[in-house]
Amino acid sequence: MSMGLLMKPILIEYQLFAPISVFINSINAPKWIFEHQETYQKMGFRNRYQVKGANGAIDLTVPLKGGRDQKATISSIEIDTNQAWAIRHLRTIESCYNRSPFFDYYKPELQKMLMKPWRFLVDLDYAAAQWVLAKIGWDGTMAITNEWLPRYSSDVIDLRNKWKPANRHQFPAQAYQQTLGEIFEPNLCILDLLFNKGPEAIVYLHLNTLLIAGKSAD
C-alpha cells in the first residue's frame, strides 16, 4: 500500500517547496508534523529546491549564516540576509515559468512571501509549506515536534530524510506538460506542478497516489 493512502499523520523534515513525490505520498495525511528538533543536515531540501530550466533541473539555494556544515538545531539556523537570494530566486523562477499557464496567478503571493525579511530557515520553510498546501486545497493541519525522537509509534508515518536531490529519479510519477525543454523532468519542486497544472494539481497528486498503490499491490 502506498504511504499516501495511509490516513495517518506524517512526520517529515523541513523542506523548502518540497519535491512533488512528497505530496503524492502525503496528500491524504490528516496532519503534517515537521521535525523541529533535529540537528541540521546538508544535502537535503531544507534550504534548496529544484525548478526546471531549458536544459534540465536548476537548484535554488537559500544561503545560511555559518554555511551548510554547521551542527546546530534546525530551529536555530539563520538565513544569510546579506545576500539578495530572494531576488535571484524570483528572477530564475520567472525566467523558467513566465510562459506556464498559472504562473501569473501564483506570482504575486509567491513574490510577497519570498521577499519577507525572514531570519530563521524553519520559518520560511513552514510558511512555504503552509502556502503550497493551501493552494493545492489540502484541508489538514500542521504542527512541529517538541522533542527529537529517533523512532515514533505506528500512529505516525515517519518520512524523515526519504527525499534528497541525489535520489530524485527514484520516485516516478506520470508525466505532465512542462514549460521548458523537450524532456520531462520528474519530481521537481511542487512549484513546477502548481505553475503547470494550477487547481488540477491536487487531482494529479491523488491520481498518482492511486497508481503507486496499485503497483504496490501487484
Cβ contact 156:28 at 8 Å: no
Q: Which SS3 state, helix, strand or coil, does residue 198 take?
A: helix
* Mean pLDDT to the nearest integer, 160-186: 91
The per-residue pLDDT for range 180-201, each reduced to its tens digit, is 988 999 999 999 999 999 999 9
Q: What value does the mean pLDDT take over residues 119-123?
A: 98
Grid-cell match 515537521, residue found: 34
Phi, psi of 98 (to 5 degrees): -65, -15
| pTM, entire model | 0.93
Task: Look at residue 171 in the predicted model and tell me its pLDDT.
Answer: 86
Average pLDDT over residues 90-103: 98
pLDDT for res 218: 46
The full length of the chain comes to 218
Residue 43 confidence (pLDDT)? 87
Q: How far apart are CA 7 and CA 157, in angstroms?
A: 9
Q: Sorting pLDDT into bands at 50, 70 and 90, what band is 215? A: low
Q: Does residue 3 surpass a pLDDT of 60? A: no
Higher-confidence residue of 196 and 3: namely 196
Query: 208-216 contacts: CB < 8 A, separation 24 or more?
Result: 208/24, 208/173, 208/174, 209/2, 209/4, 209/5, 209/24, 209/25, 209/27, 209/28, 210/2, 210/5, 211/173, 211/174, 212/2, 212/4, 212/24, 212/25, 213/1, 213/2, 213/4, 213/5, 216/1, 216/2
How many independent structural domains does the chain possess? 1
Query: Which residue range forms the structural domain that includes residue 189?
Result: 3-217
Per-residue pLDDT band for 6 (boundaries 50, 70, 90) equals: low
Percentage of the chain beyond pLDDT 90 is 81
pLDDT (mean) for 80-105: 97
Residue of higher predicted confidence among 124 and 218: 124
Contact between residue 162 and residue 14 where contact means Cβ atoms under 8 Å apart: no
pLDDT at residue 1 above 90? no
The answer to whether 195 touches 107, Cβ cutoff 8 Å, is no
Give the residue-averaged pLDDT of 7-19: 95
